[in-house]
């Protein structure tokens, strides 16, 4: 039996149980698209919501239900819904929240495809999207109208690591209109580092592709929040609008990854802290964006709302673009790749990769410089990660 008072590690391992008549320690993979009804009447009753039970795996599946229960427990949410990707979760949550004529206010610094969904996608369907810098609460106050249905942001923001004050943004939005849904993308933190619902947000979305799974072998997402909203996302947003359903096999891999979330996050953060200190003292580096550094603008807010400063670092090099790229191409241990939260240290160039959905002017407005390099610090020995960067940065100094 799992109690709310139990610790994070206990809950990440034990929360959520799938039907399991054989008593297998690891819940079985219910690799099935559909479920047998005992009778025509029973099938009808399940469709009508008069009887509990599975119908079809786009509406629910025992293996998927297990990871949904785990994530809901860890985020402190009433309910959670798994999706086929982070973008599947985000688009499901947003399309379940607005109709044509409604408005969304979002921070201007977002993962590139979320930016594209808002800026290029939702606008096409008559939803007004206002993108602004939510680190200044007066910008939020200016953007809110009686048509605002959603306030949406990430913190730390991908890729600049800008920190947004969850409690302040949620309070400002709710003081303006109590039914505004404040949705926070908690991908960079996971519930081990930050729990937006406890700070006043209404819903959380995740790319579970990243730290939640943690092993670079799954694309997945989550929505967590109150029962009504998650129910609407499940039975309308995901079922009818996006169809972005997580497969039972990927749910099984996620359940496996989640069992070690706290240990992995502790190590990602410890490694990132050492690497950030190395970069801050390296003469080839002009700027380090890491919430754990006292020199970083969002440091104090990060310390208030995050357990630890995370495993992501962004930096700028003094060298010109070609010389910086040539240096990073020589990394031997670290891998040039997008994505984050894996055991391997990954290095990428947002302006030409994850944020290439922004135009040059939009990148500038969002504070994403042409020279920014983003690092997802892995779980290797920190001395080896630092030695790899030292070997390629020293010649630039």
342 touching ligand 4LM, by CB under 6 A: no
Stretch that binds ligand 4LM, among 8-16, 51-59, 106-114, 191-199 (CB under 6 A): 106-114
Residue 58 among the catalytic residues? yes
111 touching ligand 4LM, by CB under 6 A: yes
85 touching ligand 4LM, by CB under 6 A: yes
165 touching ligand 4LM, by CB under 6 A: no
197 touching ligand 4LM, by CB under 6 A: no
Figure out which of the listed residues 339, 344, 357, 371 binds ligand 4LM, where binding follows CB under 6 A.
339
194 touching ligand 4LM, by CB under 6 A: no
Contacts for 345 with CB less than 8 Å, ≥ 6 apart: 333, 334, 335, 375, 376, 377, 378, 380, 385, 388
Query: 350-379 mask for ligand 4LM (x: CB under 6 A)?
Result: ----x-------------------------
Residue 4 among the catalytic residues? no
Closest approach, Cβ 184 to ligand 4LM, in A, equals 10
Closest approach, Cβ 50 to ligand 4LM, in A, equals 35
Choose, from 30, 111, 211, 290, the residue flagged as catalytic: 111
135 touching ligand 4LM, by CB under 6 A: no
154 touching ligand 4LM, by CB under 6 A: yes
Of all residues in the shown chain, the one whose CB is closest to ligand 4LM is: 86
209 touching ligand 4LM, by CB under 6 A: yes
Residue 86 · residue 71 · CB < 8 Å: no
Closest approach, Cβ 84 to ligand 4LM, in A, equals 8
Residue 111 among the catalytic residues? yes
Closest approach, Cβ 111 to ligand 4LM, in A, equals 4
Stretch that binds ligand 4LM, among 2-10, 32-40, 84-92, 314-322 (CB under 6 A): 84-92
Choose, from 210, 264, 267, 307, the residue flagged as catalytic: 210
185 touching ligand 4LM, by CB under 6 A: yes
Catalytic residues: 58, 111, 185, 210
Query: Using CB under 6 A as the criterion, which residues of the chain lie in contact with ligand 4LM when the complex forms?
Result: 85-87, 111, 113-114, 154, 158, 185, 187, 207, 209, 219, 221, 338-340, 354
């Amino acid at each position: 039996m799992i109690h709310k008072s139990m610790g994070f590690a206990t809950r990440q391992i034990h929360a959520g149980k799938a039907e399991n008549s054989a008593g297998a320690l690891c819940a079985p993979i219910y690799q099935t698209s559909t479920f047998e009804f005992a009778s025509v009447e029973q099938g009808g009753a399940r469709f009508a919501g008069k009887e509990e039970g599975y119908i079809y795996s786009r509406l629910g599946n025992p293996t998927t239900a297990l990871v949904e229960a785990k994530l809901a427990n860890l985020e402190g949410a009433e309910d959670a819904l798994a999706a086929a990707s982070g973008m599947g979760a985000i688009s499901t949550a947003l399309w379940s929240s607005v109709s044509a004529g409604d408005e969304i206010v979002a921070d201007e610094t977002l993962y590139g495809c979320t930016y594209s969904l808002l800026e290029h996608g939702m606008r096409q369907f008559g939803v007004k999207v206002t993108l602004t810098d939510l680190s200044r609460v007066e910008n939020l106050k200016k953007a809110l109208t009686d048509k605002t249905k959603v306030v949406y942001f990430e913190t730390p923001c991908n890729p600049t690591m800008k920190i947004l004050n969850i409690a302040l943004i949620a309070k400002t939005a709710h003081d303006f209109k109590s039914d505004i849904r404040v949705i926070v993308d908690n991908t960079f933190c996971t519930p081990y580092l930050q729990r937006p619902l406890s700070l006043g947000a209404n819903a959380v979305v995740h790319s579970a592709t990243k730290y939640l799974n943690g092993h670079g072998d799954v694309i997945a997402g989550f929505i967590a929040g109150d029962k009504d909203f998650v129910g609407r996302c499940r039975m309308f947003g995901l079922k009818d609008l996006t169809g972005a359903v997580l497969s039972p096999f990927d749910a099984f891999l996620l359940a496996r990854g989640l069992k070690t979330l706290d240990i992995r996050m502790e190590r990602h953060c410890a490694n990132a802290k050492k690497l950030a200190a190395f970069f801050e003292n390296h003469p080839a580096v002009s700027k380090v964006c890491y919430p754990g550094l006292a020199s970083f603008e969002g440091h104090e807010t990060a310390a208030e709302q995050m357990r630890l400063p995370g495993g992501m670092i962004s930096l700028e090099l003094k060298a010109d673009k070609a010389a910086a790229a040539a240096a990073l191409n020589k990394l031997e241990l670290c891998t040039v790749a997008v994505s984050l939260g894996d055991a391997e240290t990954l290095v990428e160039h947002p302006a030409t990769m994850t944020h290439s959905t922004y135009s040059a002017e939009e990148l500038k407005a969002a504070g994403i410089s042409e020279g920014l390099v983003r690092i997802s610090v892995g779980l290797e020995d920190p001395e080896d990660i630092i030695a790899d960067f030292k070997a390629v940065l020293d010649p630039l100094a």
